[in-house]
Structure 1
């Protein structure tokens, strides 16, 4: 049975949830990634999130290397929160969660369409086999012990 935290679990998904599994977390990452949010007030305004919750999430993200905090580029006396490579690597997670939501939780259709910046065509995620290159449908993936299994 899981305790209050996942950090002792030998499961990468559970450990990832320790960092990004709280309410608001992936929305903050989404707004930093696609919405241009950088400053505390940007996130507050776009999400309507309580300031204490936002402060806690931004602190968690900086402590875990998903974001870096630095003085505003324009010299203002505020901090900007920028995604690191670790934070940007959550892009497929945001896209997958959005695709699921578009299918199962958006009765009027996709509220946001993600597009390729260069050609402006819609993008989608595609799971592929490393060896044969086949696209995999749900149910065609097996979970087997990896090198980190103890």
Structure 2
């Protein structure tokens, strides 16, 4: 379960990590983004223990990142599928940024395992800072400014 102290923090990064910061969580999101929805398929893809996967999925459902929907195949017990909510789909940019960073700073010898392209044009896309006018701003030209509510 998510750490309650993190959820009460004024820092949005801390609150986000309270939900998303456990090992396996962002890999579950990654798999869901490519269409995996069933518990067994997550387990097969990730090689994660069932109790850990169950805990991570429960947290994601509890915090509105995923929904849990029952299904039943003929002759089997009821099982559940997990689908990303709008909040979960918004994490695509987070997963994309992590992949982009890993490809740049921890490259795999055979190259990237995933490419992201615009559906409409097929052109490659990347994660970046965009200003309020829609222009990309280089990361080294972005200031991080603490607000009055940020703890010192």
* TM-score after normalising by structure 2: 0.84
Partner of 2:23, secondary structure, is coil
Matches within 5 A, 1:9-88: 9-34=9-34, 36-72=35-71, 77-88=78-89
Matches within 5 A, 1:107-146: 107-108=108-109, 109-131=111-133, 133-146=134-147
Are the aligned partners of 2:130 and 2:137 in contact in 1 as well (CA < 8 Å)? Answer: yes
Closer, same or farther in 2 for the Cα pair 1:50/1:8, shift >3 Å?
Answer: same
Structure 1 gaps of 5+ residues are: none
Once the two structures are TM-superposed, the CA of residue 146 in structure 1 deviates from its matched residue by 4.8
Distance across 1 between alignment mates of 2:73 and 2:149: 44
Are the aligned partners of 2:69 and 2:82 in contact in 1 as well (CA < 8 Å)? Answer: yes
Deviations 1:30-83 (A, max 9, x none): 10011x211100100111111110000000000000000011286762110000
Structure 2 gaps of 5+ residues are: none
* TM-score after normalising by structure 1: 0.85
